[in-house]
Structure 1
Amino acid sequence: MQDILRHIHAQMTLRDAARAACASHTFRHSWICRPNLTFSRETLGLYSNNASGDVVTRDIISKIDQILQNRSGIGVKTLKFDLLCCDNIDFSYLDSWLHIAVTPGIEEVILNLPLPTMSVYNFPCSLLSNGSGNSIQYLDLSRCALRPTVGLGCLRSLTRLHLFCVRITGDELWCLLSNSSALVRLELWYCNEIISLKIPSLQRFRSLDVVECNSLQVVESNSPNLSKFYFSGLLGQISLGGSLQVKNLSMICSYQANIVWYARNNLLYIAPNVETLAISSPSETVNTPMLSGKFLHLRHLEISLVGMAAYDYLSLVSFLDASPHLEKFMLAHRMEHDSILGGPPHDLRQIPEQRYDKLKNVKISGFCSAKSLVELTCHILENTTSLDCLTLDTTWYPRCSVTKSGKCYPLMDRDSLVEAQKALVAIRRYVVGKVPSMVKLNVLEPCSRCHTIEPLV
């Protein structure tokens, strides 16, 4: 019966568990040994919107200090501090709380701090060397400094490491990773002190996310079983050790041009066996080259183009030609172009005949009247024997049917609405007649509920 009551008490929210411990001797012992501690404004019951930042910080410090000073510090499995609402907190409290709660046997440590105003909190690495590091499986730190050294103890249980706005250098991160042989997933967000990211040979390592680490110039992984790599930021030198296991690769670049060109030229060397590939580029000033190398395992390709430079969409045939097993192709674009309408009838360019025998689903978002985009669409229709569905969406933004507000957001401006009408004309004139009877054609127009649409004269 005691075990059942302890389990029930552990499932309560922090506030309810504390109240139960005050009201019942039966629950007092389980409160002292409560395994999961989550400290935030919500869990501590501090909901007042009128309180000043200093008052909220004072109340949070008081409650956390009282709770931790009156418990054994033994048996904590999960420790989470969500202190984002604290404007100014004395770091000595943080040190005291962590030393009380981070003891051998702890599995998860999550520390979410506010943006530093004066100084940055230095996470005490000694906590990872006193035996506690042996049991930690998940370490999540935000807006602090982490300075591990060569003498750091073994983090033999650490499987996931998430660092957000953490001050740590590439060499310091190497020290941490070198002691984490069980690591499976690494996530680095806005860690701007890292110039060179080098990952040692970790046999269990599977997933790497690198997001907007603005000083980063080199990414090098020697882990043989890396299977997922998500990169967002400025591309530099990337080496995945010739890994044959990378199956899922994303390259999202908002401030660097010609990422599609880069991918076609380099990805066969970086991840030759990729199966799912997502590329985002703000602009392409050069066409995608036709090369002999093949992505023999690529099945899902997503390309997003969001810049203002004109581009020959037909050159994307290079990716289709290089991917004999491609099943799904998604293209999203929002770039300037020369319309196929407004002049004499155009002869569409022809590319030497290709056959795409596996391609089943094609979707183009932001479909417009660009001549090269119409040519790409017609090329796919004429050379794909396996196509089941073609979706041409003349809009770019999420529709009211999927947004929480129930409205399309943001609304399309007048020029975009005019272009959408031109796209519909181009579809009727050049595309519809080429759609085989067994292919389902979905043409999506701007939402008439949220937009005033005037048909072209």
Structure 2
Amino acid sequence: MSKRKTSSKDKQDGPLVKKRGSRLQLSDLPLDILHSVLSRLPIRQAVRTSILSNHWKRLWCSRTNLEFSFRSLVHKMGSGIPRSSISEYVFIQRVDAILKQHCGVGVEKLKVEFFPLHGEHAEHIDRWVQFAISSKTKQLIFYFECQRPTKEPYGFPFQLFDASSGSHLEYMKLGSVSLKHTANIKVLLNLKKLELEDVNITDEELKHMLFNCNALEFIGVSRCKMLTCVETPHPLKHLKHLHASHCPLLQRITLHFGLVTLEYEGPLMTLAPPSTLRNLSIKSSDFSSSLAYMLTELPSTLPRLETLTLKSEELKRANLLNTPLNFLHLRHLRLELNFVSLGARSDVLDLACLLEAAPVMENLEVHMLMGHEVGRYRKCHGELRVLPSHPHAHLMLVNITGFVGQKAQVELALHILRNSAVLKAMKIDPKPTVAGIGADLLMNGLCFLDGYKVAKKYLRRADYHGVVDVIKVRRRQVENVMPFKLIDPMWLAILAESE
């Protein structure tokens, strides 16, 4: 067999990577690919590549993302090393050692997340801030969590920034720090995203901080215990998204024209959002009925709402007499409802009115947590109710979770199925995705099996277009098993937080 002749073009361009015999070496790859590979490794593992050879010795030093945490610097899978066994100064020494070896330029992201750090470590943390400044870091994240109430939180040193160095920051997240002297902050000119969590900051200090942040697109405040009002000093023309949650003293949110998305979690307050608002998420324990709140309070103030999320514990059945139904632009509705306290007085068929309330809705999610007072539907519970027909010409996707086969749940699902002219998919999941105190009232895992059997019997029978997808539950999976052991771990984390 004749060998292929090497063209002059092949000789000129050369191979993409060098060959050593018939084997390709990882170190022969272009530098930009190697840097990309190293950036995907935890920082501890990236540094360890320096022992491979002289070629690898300094490669990690140009890493663009530096993330320092217990997991990235200390934790080893299966080692069983407790977080409490690592002192603050061991952590500080490891961070310092890495920053000293880094080339100090082109850092896109610097993240330090280690809960025990506080004000007494200011000298070291200030040094990391100076590194971020000199390396022109774009994303700066300092997330601590003061575990010792007697210790002062770290005071973030805005005085280290000037107009030049501050202009590089585009994203900043600060957790469990103190912000003082914010009246002198005039350097965050290109900051697009700001998140403050458990930060000691007053209303006036926040306004001063935001005064020159004219490029801001997102503001997030969470667990800020001193805030009573979230208000920008003047309209920020680029600000589109505001998130506020678990600020116990918060009484007012002043929203300026241009805001598109609002996420709020906490005690219910009067909202006067601008007409530009398109997306709203409210999670509150103050609703007596989220359905009544949604249909009586929101349509008049949010006529152009397109997506809506409501999460609450239902304490009262909605009174829908003379209720205005005019969500004329709503396309995506997500309800997270805990009916445990309402018990047998609940009637989820009330939710059927949503087809009339939102005539252009395309995506409907109903996530329920039900008590055990009303069991799965049986013939002895009476005939299934059928509401007057109300064809819906836009609804395409429906997702119902926590479907344990109760009569009103069956009636609601059938009403949606029969009246949705262009429905493409209806997902029915017996397991709940809603967290809430009272989940343990579910007797045992067999309630999920009940939901699966009822959905299969009644919904599949009425499904003439093959759009119903019932998540399968087997007896051997749920028999003699408490429900909390069958639910996704993410759900359990949310439940623990709510309690």
Band of TM-score, shorter chain: 0.7 to 0.9
1:143 corresponds in structure 2 to 176
1:323 corresponds in structure 2 to 358
1:403 corresponds in structure 2 to none
1:59 corresponds in structure 2 to 90
- Whole-angstrom distance in 2 between the partners of 1:357 and 1:326: 9
Q: Which runs of 5 or more residues in structure 1 are unaligned?
A: 399-409
- Whole-angstrom distance in 1 between the partners of 2:247 and 2:279: 20
SS at 1:187 equivalent: strand
- Whole-angstrom distance in 2 between the partners of 1:422 and 1:160: 43
1:359 corresponds in structure 2 to 395
1:123 corresponds in structure 2 to 156
How far residue 53 of structure 1 moved from its aligned partner, in angstroms, is 5.0
Aligned: 1:39 with 2:68: yes
Return the structure number with greater helix share: 2
Aligned: 1:202 with 2:236: yes
Render the CA deviation track for 1:135-164: whole Å, top value 9, x for unaligned.
210101111112353332142210111222
2:195 corresponds in structure 1 to 162
Aligned: 1:448 with 2:482: no
Go from structure 1 to structure 2 and tell me whether the alpha carbon gap of 1:206 and 1:453 turns closer, same or farther (over 3 Å shift).
Answer: same
2:339 corresponds in structure 1 to 307
Question: Where do 1:110-259 residues align within 5 Å?
Answer: 110-117=141-148, 118-129=151-162, 131-199=164-232, 200-224=234-258, 226-243=259-276, 246-254=277-285, 256-259=287-290
Which amino acid counterpart does residue 160 of structure 1 have in structure 2?
A: K
TM-score, scaled to structure 2: 0.73
C-alpha contact 1:395 1:446 (8 A) present in aligned 2: no
Moved more, 445-454 or 203-212: 445-454
SS at 2:450 equivalent: helix
How far residue 351 of structure 1 moved from its aligned partner, in angstroms, is 4.2
- Whole-angstrom distance in 1 between the partners of 2:451 and 2:36: 61
C-alpha contact 2:445 2:480 (8 A) present in aligned 1: no
C-alpha contact 1:259 1:284 (8 A) present in aligned 2: no
How far residue 254 of structure 1 moved from its aligned partner, in angstroms, is 4.7
Which amino acid counterpart does residue 446 of structure 2 have in structure 1?
A: L
- Whole-angstrom distance in 2 between the partners of 1:295 and 1:396: 27
Go from structure 1 to structure 2 and tell me whether the alpha carbon gap of 1:378 and 1:85 turns closer, same or farther (over 3 Å shift).
Answer: same
- Whole-angstrom distance in 2 between the partners of 1:425 and 1:37: 52
C-alpha contact 1:295 1:324 (8 A) present in aligned 2: yes
Render the CA deviation track for 1:215-240: whole Å, top value 9, x for unaligned.
2222222041x222222222212222
C-alpha contact 1:391 1:443 (8 A) present in aligned 2: yes
SS at 1:79 equivalent: strand
C-alpha contact 2:141 2:174 (8 A) present in aligned 1: yes
C-alpha contact 2:392 2:421 (8 A) present in aligned 1: yes
Moved more, 152-161 or 233-242: 233-242
Render the CA deviation track for 1:319-362: whole Å, top value 9, x for unaligned.
22111111222212123465685675635555444221222333
Which amino acid counterpart does residue 437 of structure 1 have in structure 2?
A: Y
Residue number among 102, 123, 138 corresponding to 1:107 in the alignment: 138
Which amino acid counterpart does residue 297 of structure 1 have in structure 2?
A: H
Render the CA deviation track for 1:70-112: whole Å, top value 9, x for unaligned.
8786665533223236599522222233235424833221112
Number of residue-to-residue matches in the alignment: 434
Aligned: 1:261 with 2:292: yes
SS at 1:91 equivalent: helix
Which amino acid counterpart does residue 375 of structure 1 have in structure 2?
A: E
SS at 1:171 equivalent: helix
Go from structure 1 to structure 2 and tell me whether the alpha carbon gap of 1:124 and 1:412 turns closer, same or farther (over 3 Å shift).
Answer: same
Which amino acid counterpart does residue 452 of structure 1 have in structure 2?
A: E
- Whole-angstrom distance in 2 between the partners of 1:373 and 1:51: 45
Aligned: 1:283 with 2:310: no
TM-score, scaled to structure 1: 0.78
- Whole-angstrom distance in 1 between the partners of 2:298 and 2:213: 28
Go from structure 1 to structure 2 and tell me whether the alpha carbon gap of 1:446 and 1:78 turns closer, same or farther (over 3 Å shift).
Answer: closer
SS at 2:205 equivalent: helix
2:485 corresponds in structure 1 to none
How far residue 122 of structure 1 moved from its aligned partner, in angstroms, is 1.1
Aligned: 1:91 with 2:122: yes
C-alpha contact 1:368 1:419 (8 A) present in aligned 2: yes
1:401 corresponds in structure 2 to none
Q: Which runs of 5 or more residues in structure 2 are unaligned?
A: 1-29, 482-499
- Whole-angstrom distance in 2 between the partners of 1:451 and 1:354: 38
- Whole-angstrom distance in 2 between the partners of 1:393 and 1:29: 49
Go from structure 1 to structure 2 and tell me whether the alpha carbon gap of 1:453 and 1:150 turns closer, same or farther (over 3 Å shift).
Answer: closer
SS at 2:182 equivalent: coil
How far residue 446 of structure 1 moved from its aligned partner, in angstroms, is 3.2
Go from structure 1 to structure 2 and tell me whether the alpha carbon gap of 1:6 and 1:171 turns closer, same or farther (over 3 Å shift).
Answer: same
Work out the percentage of aligned pairs sharing the same amino acid.
25
How far residue 21 of structure 1 moved from its aligned partner, in angstroms, is 11
Go from structure 1 to structure 2 and tell me whether the alpha carbon gap of 1:431 and 1:128 turns closer, same or farther (over 3 Å shift).
Answer: same
Which amino acid counterpart does residue 346 of structure 1 have in structure 2?
A: G
- For the aligned residue pairs, the C-alpha RMSD in angstroms reads 4.1
- Whole-angstrom distance in 2 between the partners of 1:19 and 1:332: 47
- Whole-angstrom distance in 2 between the partners of 1:350 and 1:90: 67
Go from structure 1 to structure 2 and tell me whether the alpha carbon gap of 1:338 and 1:450 turns closer, same or farther (over 3 Å shift).
Answer: closer
- Whole-angstrom distance in 2 between the partners of 1:46 and 1:388: 46
Which amino acid counterpart does residue 124 of structure 2 have in structure 1?
A: Y
- Whole-angstrom distance in 2 between the partners of 1:185 and 1:56: 35
How far residue 206 of structure 1 moved from its aligned partner, in angstroms, is 2.0
- Whole-angstrom distance in 1 between the partners of 2:36 and 2:471: 50
- Whole-angstrom distance in 2 between the partners of 1:295 and 1:121: 47
C-alpha contact 1:123 1:144 (8 A) present in aligned 2: yes
SS at 1:95 equivalent: helix
Go from structure 1 to structure 2 and tell me whether the alpha carbon gap of 1:372 and 1:444 turns closer, same or farther (over 3 Å shift).
Answer: same
2:412 corresponds in structure 1 to 376
Go from structure 1 to structure 2 and tell me whether the alpha carbon gap of 1:109 and 1:431 turns closer, same or farther (over 3 Å shift).
Answer: closer
